[in-house]
Amino acid sequence: MVDVNTTVQPKLLRHAEFRLLFAATAVSKLGVQVGYLAIPLVAVSALDASPGQVGLLAALSTVAFLLIGLPAGAWIDRMRRRGVMVAADVVRAALLGSVPMAWAVDALTLTQLYVVVFLAGFATVFFDVAGLSYVPHVVGRKRLVEANSALHSFDAIANIAGRSGAGYLIQWVTAPVALLVTAGGYLISGLCLSGIRRREPEAPRPGERRLWPQIREGLGFVLRHRILRPAALAGAATNLGMQLSLTMLPVVMIAGLALPESRLGLFLAAGGVGALVGALTAKRLGGVLGMGRMLWVLGLVVAPAAFLVPMLDRGAGFWLAMAGWGIVAFKIGVDNVVLVSFRQRVTPDGLLGRQNATMRFLLTGALAVGAALAGVVGELVSARAALWTGTVILALAWIPLFFSPIRNLRTLPAASDVTAVEAGPERG
């Protein structure tokens, strides 16, 4: 094993290439948060969309991960990742920029909005998978925890500040015009990435190998790997529980308890704060408890806090539930940094794209299942019952990590451990 704390290295933000990657991520994430609110509001306010049409719009924004998530990894393993990311940014900027232009000449239709979010979702698949595979190239495998901590910390900041700021922006300039901020964020992101001068090694030529065998190789690598498999199970369980809760929170709070929308925003912001603290402290906590041990120990300790969430009401229960949500999000912030670092560390360069695509496919699939399950439980039983279901899943999501080799890892696996922990039967 390699101890990530044995040498003192300069702060990553002094690293010119990582600084450009961080800047690209920052402006892109802020733009995404504006779009997260603006797109459904365009449908509702400018196009008089029904609730069902708004739901379809949301589904179209993520369905690309299920349609091309797996082959995208194989394709990206054949290409240089930075070029893929820049191209995806340009495509998304053009698509989102077309909405305010069409609105300005009174030509915007719901069909156009459907096409925009559907195609932008495909570009996002390529950007996300390539980005996860590009980080190890920029910073090296020994600095993955530090790099992912910085990236996920800003992600949490964007979740806290971006959506609240987006609300004021939309109120000021209207939802269609606000999408210019999203398009501009993608363009600036692409420019930042273009400034990274470190040359990637030439991508391996696929030769005579067909696409499906490569996809199968990536899927098998994840599902048989003694570290990646439990990480995928824990991540999917977390996403399933989170989506069940997030889908039903507005129903319980707004329709059930008649709380103002500002309370919902405050509740979700508490989750953003928790995730930020988790991302910032993951490396330090891992140094004290051990990286692998920290994941299941925190899961066990945090589990009771999850049960505060479905107990929310109009009085003190609201504040207790919000605190519980923030604590759960803290654990998720820690997981995001450490598990992504584990994944990047143990995967050979030639499989990074397929590993990340497989993970995206599995984790995004869990989100889709969670949303559908929330609707079924909410319809057949009650919205609060769906909230309780999500809570139970979140409270147990650490169990796959406990019954895996991750349980006793004190540091990130060393590069020499990549082959040592590859696919193979578990040994007691």
Task: Based on the fold, state whether residues 185 and 215 are members of the same structural domain.
Answer: no
Contact assessment for residue 334 and residue 294, using Cβ atoms and an 8 Å cutoff: yes
Task: Based on the fold, state whether residues 392 and 336 are members of the same structural domain.
Answer: yes
The total of structural domains in the chain comes to 2
Task: Based on the fold, state whether residues 195 and 229 are members of the same structural domain.
Answer: no
Domain contains 96: yes
CATH number for 68: 1.20.1250.20
Task: Based on the fold, state whether residues 140 and 218 are members of the same structural domain.
Answer: no
Task: Based on the fold, state whether residues 254 and 276 are members of the same structural domain.
Answer: yes
Domain contains 428: no
Task: Based on the fold, state whether residues 259 and 402 are members of the same structural domain.
Answer: yes
Domain contains 376: yes
Distance CA 241, CA 87 (A): 34
Task: Based on the fold, state whether residues 195 and 234 are members of the same structural domain.
Answer: no
Q: What pLDDT sits at residue 400?
A: 94
**Mean pLDDT of the residues in the chain:** 81
Task: Based on the fold, state whether residues 146 and 220 are members of the same structural domain.
Answer: no
Distance CA 371, CA 356 (A): 22
Q: What is this structure's pTM?
A: 0.68
Domain contains 58: yes
Q: Which of these three, 146, 172, 199, is where a domain ends?
A: 199
Contact assessment for residue 362 and residue 232, using Cβ atoms and an 8 Å cutoff: yes
- The residue range of the domain holding 132 is 12-199
Domain contains 2: no
**Residue 100 CB: number of other CB atoms within 10 A?**
22
Task: Based on the fold, state whether residues 40 and 89 are members of the same structural domain.
Answer: yes
Residues in CB range of 272: below 8 A, 6 or more apart: 156, 157, 159, 160, 329
Instruction: Walk along the chain (428 residues) and give the pLDDT tens digit of each residue.
Output: 333 333 334 566 677 788 888 888 888 888 887 887 778 778 877 888 765 676 667 667 777 888 887 888 778 877 888 889 999 999 999 999 999 999 999 999 999 999 999 999 899 989 988 887 788 777 776 777 777 777 777 777 776 776 667 667 777 888 889 899 999 999 999 999 998 887 766 655 555 457 778 788 888 999 999 999 999 999 999 999 988 887 777 778 766 788 775 677 678 778 888 988 998 898 889 888 888 889 999 999 999 999 999 999 999 999 999 999 999 999 998 998 888 888 878 888 778 778 877 888 888 878 777 777 877 788 788 888 989 999 999 999 999 999 998 888 887 665 434 443 333 333 22
292-301 confidence digits (pLDDT tens): 889 999 999 9
Main-chain phi, psi angles of 43, to 5 degrees: -60, -45
Helices 110-139, 51-76: axis angle to 10 degrees equals: 40
Task: Based on the fold, state whether residues 143 and 272 are members of the same structural domain.
Answer: no
Main-chain phi, psi angles of 319, to 5 degrees: -70, -35
Q: What pLDDT sits at residue 6?
A: 36
> What's the full length of the chain, in residues?
428
For 141-227, where are the alpha helices, taking DSSP H only? Answer: 144-157, 163-173, 175-194, 211-224
Q: What pLDDT sits at residue 1?
A: 33
Task: Based on the fold, state whether residues 388 and 278 are members of the same structural domain.
Answer: yes
